[in-house]
Every structure is written in structure tokens, then in C-alpha cells.
Amino acid sequence: MQTLSKLYTLSEYRTLEETAAERHEYHDGKIVAITGGTLEHSAISGNVYALLKVAFKRSQFKPFNSDLRVWIPSYSKGVYPDVSVIESRAEFNDDRRDEILNPKLVVEVLSRSTEAYDRGDKFIYYRSIPTFSEYLLISQYRPWVDHYCKSDNGEWVLRSYGDMKAAIGIETGNMTLALEDIYEDINFAEANV
């Protein structure tokens, strides 16, 4: 990710983002360019989105791809998760239809350049969102998924999956995601070149 040096107001950022050829995140006045992803990254996030879209058909849960920005008010950040899921109706920031406030489940496909951020600061930022209760971190280089769930007492519990025959119990919508479906058509030998 590359940061532009000038500080921008949220209004300036939104105006630039509406016409930009590439996407940018907003980090409390700083605009951060998002680099392009790999074939594997795109395929994995597409697989997860498709699986959730089918599983949640005609339900109160609605999955969205990486085109929808999540606004994190406590940190004045606008970020683009690979997949997000809301329950019931979207709550919009400033009535903008491109910034939601209420993700329940967030999915990030990890890359070498963003893994530390997705596991660290970004997870801290997401946890400030009251509705956020489930986080999937998916490796694109080997079969591995870290699944964080917020317990009833507010603690975050981690379960890790590395077996292609494993299935992840997703509390959001009470469904399962099989690793073999998440990683459909992924060739790890090619992903690690």
C-alpha cells in the first residue's frame, strides 16, 4: 500500500474516490492506494463471496464483495474488506450508499504485503465496530484459515484450519464453509512462485 503525502478531508477523499481508476483507503486524513491482487487472491475472495451469497439467499444476512467500503468511526478509517456480511439492513455513514457501518462478518485474503496489517491494526480497528463479531483470515499461499469469533463475554476466540477436508462453522447465519470450496481451483505450487 502506498500513502499519498497530503492530508485530505473525508469529503475530498470521497470526491477523489468516486472518479479514481484504482481504489484507496482513508486513514484519518491520509489516502492509501490499494495495490492489485493476485489471481489466487481474487479467486479465493470470489469463492468465499459466492459461497456466502448462495448460503444466505433469502435470509437476513447479505454478503458484499470488496467494492463496498466499511467506515470505522472510532479511527476515522474507510477500508475495503475482501468480503463483508451485514445482518438485516445496511447502516450507512452519512447516508452514503458506498460506506457501511455495520459489518457482522469480515473476510480478508492475506497477502505478503498486507498480512501483518490485517492481523494487527486492521483487526483492532474492526473490533471497534459494535456489530463486528466474526473475522476470517485466509492464506492464499497454503490451505490455512484463521477464524476469530467474539464470545458472549466479549472475548475473541481463535480457531485455525489447515486441512482441506475441514469445515469452518460460521456463526453468522449458522452455516459452514469447507476449505475445499474456499480453495476451489487454487494451485498452491503456482501461488508460491
Residues 154 and 94 in one domain: yes
pLDDT at 37 over 90: no
Quote the CA–CA distance of 95 and 107 in Å, as a whole number.
Answer: 24
CB 32 within 8 A of CB 66: no
Residues 80 and 158 in one domain: yes
What integer best gives the mean pLDDT of the chain?
94
Q: What share of the chain has pLDDT > 70, as a percent?
A: 97
Task: Provide the domain count of the chain.
Answer: 2
Say what the pTM is. Answer: 0.94
Residues 26 and 55 in one domain: no
Residues 75 and 170 in one domain: yes
Q: pLDDT by residue (tens digit) across 76-92?
A: 999 999 999 999 999 99
Residues 25 and 43 in one domain: no
Residues 46 and 133 in one domain: yes
pLDDT at 168 over 90: yes
pLDDT at 129 over 70: yes
Domain of 151, CATH number, reads 3.90.1570.10
Question: Range of 145's domain?
Answer: 37-191
State the virtual CA torsion across 86, 57, 171, 160 in degrees, nearest 10: -100
Residues 87 and 141 in one domain: yes
Residues 46 and 64 in one domain: yes
Residues 154 and 141 in one domain: yes
Q: DSSP letter at 36?
A: P
Three-state helix/strand/coil letters over 92-157: EHHHCCCEECCEEEEEEEECCCCHHHHHCHHHHHHHCCCCCCEEEEEECCCCCEEEEEECCCCCEE
Residues 13 and 104 in one domain: no
Quote the CA–CA distance of 65 and 46 in Å, as a whole number.
Answer: 8
Residues 68 and 31 in one domain: no
For residues 142-148, average pLDDT: 98
Residues 80 and 28 in one domain: no
Q: What pLDDT does residue 4 have? A: 57
